Amino acid sequence: MTDIVDPETRHRMMSGIRGKNTKIEVLVRKGLFAKGFRYRINDKKLPGKPDIILPKYKAVIFTHGCFWHGHDCHLFKWPSTRPEWWRSKIGGNRERDNHVRELLEKAGWRQCHVWECALKGKYRLDADNVIDELVKWLQGNSETLEIRGRTE
């Protein structure tokens, strides 16, 4: 299947996608702030520059876009144009994610990964429930947490 827009339009559309301050990330940050949590964002000193860092809890939170990280959910679909390039790109992102997980684990950081499908799409969860789950995890002693959309 060919692309439905010309290459120039596609380039403009793709270059408008940002890696910081995404809607999902801002929603999680606002929810945590409203619950009294204070954090730093995108600390370059930590592997992977986590989206949200809570030093008091020795915890980091990543908000992953399902497409860019190749998540196995309804929001991800392999592009039909330039498939080799996309498999390499998304595969590289996945490898980097795994490497960052290992580095943070060795450094003693607790990690949470909030997937885009948890807060967007037809199988999304209630945003307040997602924030409550994050709060419970932060106040508990579990090392990891993954929040994803419903599977139906």
Given 63, 64, 71, 113, which residue is catalytic?
63
Given 22, 43, 74, 97, which residue is catalytic?
97
Interatomic CA distance for residues 89 and 93, integer angstroms: 6
Given 22, 43, 69, 74, which residue is catalytic?
69
Has 3 been annotated as catalytic? Answer: no
The answer to whether 10 and 3 are in contact (CB under 8 A) is: yes
Has 128 been annotated as catalytic? Answer: no
What is the phi/psi pair of residue 114, to 5°?
-100, 115
How far are the Cα atoms of 9, 11, 12, 60, 62 from residue 16, in angstroms, in the given order? 11, 9, 6, 26, 20
CA-nearest of 22, 114, 21, 115 to 66 is 115
Has 97 been annotated as catalytic? Answer: yes
Interatomic CA distance for residues 27 and 18, integer angstroms: 15
Has 51 been annotated as catalytic? Answer: yes
Residues involved in catalysis: 51, 63, 69, 97
